[in-house]
Structure formats: structure tokens, C-alpha cells
Amino acid sequence: MKNNVILFSLLCLVLFSCIKKDDPIDAGLSSNAKVTFSNFVGNQPLVLQSNWYLNANGDSFKVNVYKYYITNVKLTKSDASVYTEKDSYHLINEADASSQSFVMADVPEGTYTSISFLIGVDSARNTSGAQTGALDPINGMFWTWNSGYIMAKFEGVSPQSTSTDKTVVYHLGGFSGATSVLRSVTLSFPTSLNIKKGTTPNIHIDGDVAEWFSFPNVIDFAQKPLLMTPGKDLVNIADNYQDMFKVNHID
Amino acid sequence: MKNRIFLVVFSLVLVCNLWSCHTDPLLQPVPKNTDISFVQPANWPTPNYNFQNNTLTSDGFALGRRLFYDTRLSIDNTISCASCHEQTTAFAQIDHPTSHGVRNQLGNRNSPALFNLAWHTSFFWDGGVNHIENQPIAPIMNPVEMDETLPNVIAKLNADPTYRQQFKNAFGTEEINTQRLQKAIVQFMGAIVSNQSKYDQVKNGKASFTADEQAGYVLFQQKCNTCHAEPLFTDFSFRNNGMLITLDSGRAHITGLASDRFKFKVPSLRNLNFTKPYMHNGSIASIGAVLDHYTSGIVQSPTLDPSLQNQITLSATDKSKLIAFLNTLNDYEFVKDVRFKQP
């Protein structure tokens, strides 16, 4: 008898422990939007560590590391109302395909006309202590000696580089005042984004690495092969890359 | 039958006891030495860090203390935070102008004393770190200090079940990540308060200065208080105090501003008896020599602090009285507080 009670209790334990709570986002009822980033150099897809490209100055280069933060993502409706993604911090890493898209949950239904976001991590998160997830310093995008995030990172090689081993390294950091490399971007959609329950439309955004080095400030790899401290040189690159994105299409 | 049950139980107890010999002593029921709280001393300003997003608990404090004393935070498991920040010397390192990192490397600057950090608005001599929670990972990753990577540190801690248990005790689950590592160390570091010096007792009406100490206090208020503001004995500003100019540009390394060249964070004057040598580069060996620097050793340069343009005037008697006062700032309690000792 006692054994039966014990067995029954165990059975209950096993059974109950197998019952999972329902997923809070029911695919049939929630309305989501996906954002996918694809990186190019000019018209060519970016391929790390193999393809050679040309910058506006005529220097050829290969890219080994390419990462940037996309944060504070917002979608704006035709009636000007705004959806703001919660805890909106994404690290897009060219070496990790899974990092290049993300899904924003519970976007209110309706017709949206534009997306906006920050390139980089807002100043608040640069000054509020230990962070986690995309903002974990383990991702290699945090300066420990001069607190703050590296908003975008480009590392490559160029025969024109004057650094030892011909490297070209740009770590764009600086979140306040004149040295801020934070840039806010707003992109209109070529066709409207229709959010409705049960679907997850995908916003395809193309980014162009060549923009880092072309306009308005032409970057010369021979003159400035290594830039890793906040200041005017990095601000020049940020002024260039703020125009690097466009929405290719929505599907 | 009963004997057999007894034998089994006895063996189990024996095995458990043997096992416990190999477990970390910190996993025993929380001893008194982790009874920790953070109290703002009377008449002190509001701390800059108040543990609001990092609730101070005995378990978090014990974990932070263990990490602080653990050499596994360095690449070759030789250097811990405590290697350069020893409790007996107010968590500075005595007789070392600059400290030793892994592979016998010398650092660039004098390891600062660690106390009352919750009031600090920035960290390091150049103030490069803007938040106490971001401080611990800087020496871990600095090539001349611990030269370790965060993934390695987290892997080493994860390999130790007693750490996983301690992270669970402190944060609810066994997960070990950078944020938890940072917050745990800050529960230890941030809870170190030094407020039991004779000066504090005088201020609280529990002791009185001698005539020399009192005269020294008056001199201090006339000549030193601008930068070394009471009751923390620093205003946390960055100033060029007329040391010999070297390659180390100090605050300018962080801000990029020429006007910040050769400026360093004003250190507290508490616990000077424990923390020699002095200055950012550890180049002055005694308090007397520090006073001599301010009366006759100031090096002129464009960013020299305005308050030191004409040096400081102090007679030999003034100096001895001033030293008598400075000695009232030594806190002999916190340097032997069992809560801050190596576990």
C-alpha cells in the first residue's frame, strides 16, 4: 500500500513536471516584425577574410571583423503613432549569421511607413554599470579602460595601410558631446509594412561598408590606418556611416 | 537488520563528512563574517552607488569576496585583485610604487587604496571607468595586470561546482555571466567603508584631538581642504599637482583634451599610514616628503592646478602638526575587519 502511494506520488511529479506553460507568444495571435541586415561593399556582398574591395580613396582592402550595434528600434505608422521595441539592443556581427536578424514581438496591427534606430548604444547604457545580453562586455564591444561601448568595429587589411602588418582597425566609440559616434537613422519603406496577427513580415535592410570611407569624409588608409580612441577622426567616420543603410524590400 | 541500516546510514554520514572536507568553507552555513550592510555614515554625503540595482546580501558579498581573492581571474592563475590590494594596507600595496602583473610585468601606476568606493564618481587615476560595476573587468583584461579574457574567467568559474552554487545563492540560478561577476565583486568592494578613524570619533563626539592634531586640523582646513574635501578627503576631481612630467598624460588619455594633460584623480587622505608610497606613480615614499613636494617641489607646467601656482607655505612645525592631524585619519579597524579578510 505504502509503495503504491509512493509510486503514485512519483507519477504525479513526473506528469506535472512535463506539463509546460503555454508559450506566452501564441504564433496565431501575435503580430510581429522581423528585421534582417545584409552587409555589402558597394554592390558586392560582404564576404569576410576573402574578397578584396576598393575604398573611395582607391585603397584596396579585405575585411576580417565587422560588427555594429543597432538599438532603440522604432516603427512609425502612417498616422505618426510609434511602436518602440522593448530592451532594444542588437549586435549585428558579420561572422554570425544568426545575429543579422531579429524579431520584434507584439507590434500593434496597422500600416507602417518607416523604421528608425540608433547606430550604437545610447549614452544611458554607457553609464549605468554592468549590462548583459547583446551588451555583455564578453562580446568584445566594450572599452574597459575608458568606459563605453564600441558602437561599430571594422578590422581588415590593406596594402596601402602604413601600420605594421598592414592592418586597418577602426573601433568607433564615444557616446557624449563632440566625440559621440552615435548616429540616429530613419529609413522610409519602399512599400508599406502591414502588420497583422499571425504574420511576421521581414524588413530587409542593406548596409554598405564602403560608406564608412567615402562621404563626406574620404578616409585614407595610409594616413589613418588605426583609429581606436574617441575623437574627431572617429566622428568623421560616423558622419559617413550614418547614411550607410537603406531598406531593400519587405517580404 | 537494524544494524545493517545503522551501518548504511553511518557510512553515508562518513562519506558526506569526508566530502565536506573537500568543499569550499564558504558553502558552510553563512558565518558571522558575512553579516554585511551598507550604512551611510552620519554627516557624510549621499553615496554615488547605493546598491539599488544590486541588492547587497551575505551571499553576494561572500561571493564577491571570494572572487576578489581568487587568482583564477588572471590568465596564469597567479594574480588576484588582492595581490595589489591588500587589506592590511587599506587595500593598496605598500612599498610598491607600481604593482606587479602576470609574467613579472610592472604596471604604470600606483595601485590605489580601496575604501569608500561607493562615493566615487569615477575609477582609476585617470577616471577612465565611469561606474563602479565596470571597474572589476578592467584589471582582469589589462595586459599588464591580469591579462585574462572574460570567456576564460567564466569557463574557469563554471568548472568549479562550488562557484556555481555560490552564484545560485547570490543570484537565484547557477548561471555565471559577466554581469553577475561584476555585480558580485562590487558587493564586496562597494561595501568596504572606512569611517572608524580617530577623526571620525572626534566628529561623532567620542574622542578629542590633541593640541597638535587640532592645530594640524586648522592648517589642513586652510591649506589642503580645497582638493581633499572632508569627510571623504577628496573632491574626486582631476588635478595636476606639480609632479615631474612623464609620458603618462593622465586624465587627457581619457578625454583627449590638452587642458587635462598630467591631471590625476585626487586621492583620499584617509589611511595614509598604510598606503605608502604616494602619488599616481608611487614616486614619493613618505608623508613628510609629500609635504616637502607641496612646499618646495612643485613642477610648473601649463595645466598645473591654480591652487599650487605659488606652492604651499608650511613651516617645519606646521608640517609636524599637519602630520599629527593626518595620522588621525588612519582607520585601524577596517584594515583588520574579519569581513574583508581572505576567506
Which residues does chain A have within 8 Å of residue B183's beta carbon, measured at their own beta carbons?
A: 130
In a domain, A141, yes or no: yes
The beta strands (E) that lie in chain B are given as: 238-239, 264-265
Per the CB < 8 Å rule, is B178 touching A230? no
Residue range A156-200, pLDDT digits in tens:
999 999 999 999 999 999 999 999 999 999 999 999 999 999 999
Write down the pLDDT at residue A29: 72
B137 vs B116: CA distance, rounded Å: 19
Per CATH, B52-193 and B198-329 having the same topology is answered: yes
Write down the pLDDT at residue B33: 78
Superfamily in which the B52-193 domain is placed by CATH: Cytochrome c-like domain (1.10.760.10)
Write down the pLDDT at residue A4: 56
B265 vs B240: CA distance, rounded Å: 9
In a domain, A20, yes or no: no
Q: Measured at the alpha carbon of residue A185, what is the angle toward residues A180 and A191, in degrees to the nearest 5? A: 175
A68 vs A150: CA distance, rounded Å: 8
Write down the pLDDT at residue B5: 54
A108 vs A103: CA distance, rounded Å: 14
pLDDT over threshold 80, residue A1: no
Nearest CB among B137, B154, B183 relative to A144 is that of B137
Residue range A5-25, pLDDT digits in tens:
554 444 444 444 444 444 444
Determine which of B134, B140, B144, B152 to mutate to test the interface with A (most A C-beta atoms within 10 Å). B134
Residue range B34-74, pLDDT digits in tens:
789 999 999 999 999 999 999 999 999 999 999 999 999 99
Domain of A101? 32-250
In a domain, A21, yes or no: no
Range B259-280 average pLDDT: 97
Residue range A67-76, pLDDT digits in tens:
999 999 999 9
Total domains present in chain A:
1
pLDDT averaged over every residue in chain B = 92
| pLDDT interval class at B20 (50, 70, 90) | very low
| pLDDT interval class at B3 (50, 70, 90) | low
Is the domain B198-329 a CATH 3.90.76.10 member?
no
ipTM score:
0.84
| pLDDT interval class at B106 (50, 70, 90) | confident
In a domain, A89, yes or no: yes
Write down the pLDDT at residue A30: 84
DSSP class of residue A194 equals: E
In a domain, A103, yes or no: yes
DSSP track, B32-82: GGG-------TTPPPPS---TTS---HHHHHHHHHHHT-GGGSTTS---HH
pLDDT over threshold 50, residue A210: yes
Per the CB < 8 Å rule, is B256 touching A230? yes
In a domain, A8, yes or no: no
Whole-angstrom Cα Rg for chain A: 23
For residue A129, give the 3-state DSSP assignment.
coil
Whether B133 and chain A come into contact, CB under 8 Å, resolves to: yes
In a domain, A65, yes or no: yes
Whether B151 and chain A come into contact, CB under 8 Å, resolves to: yes
In a domain, A15, yes or no: no
Residue A45 identity: P
A58 vs A61: CA distance, rounded Å: 10
Domain ranges of chain B: 52-193, 198-329
**What is the model's pTM?**
0.87
The cell numbers describing B124, all together, are: 582609476
Burial of B229 (0-12, 13-18, 19+ CB in 10 A): middle
Strands A202-208, A245-250: pairing is antiparallel
Residue range B79-98, pLDDT digits in tens:
999 999 999 999 998 888 88
List the 27-86 stretch of B: residues with Cβ below 8 A of A: 53-54
Strand partners, A89: A71
Which of A119, A90, A175 lies closest to B131, judged by CA?
A175
Which residues does chain B have within 8 Å of residue A148's beta carbon, measured at their own beta carbons?
A: 130
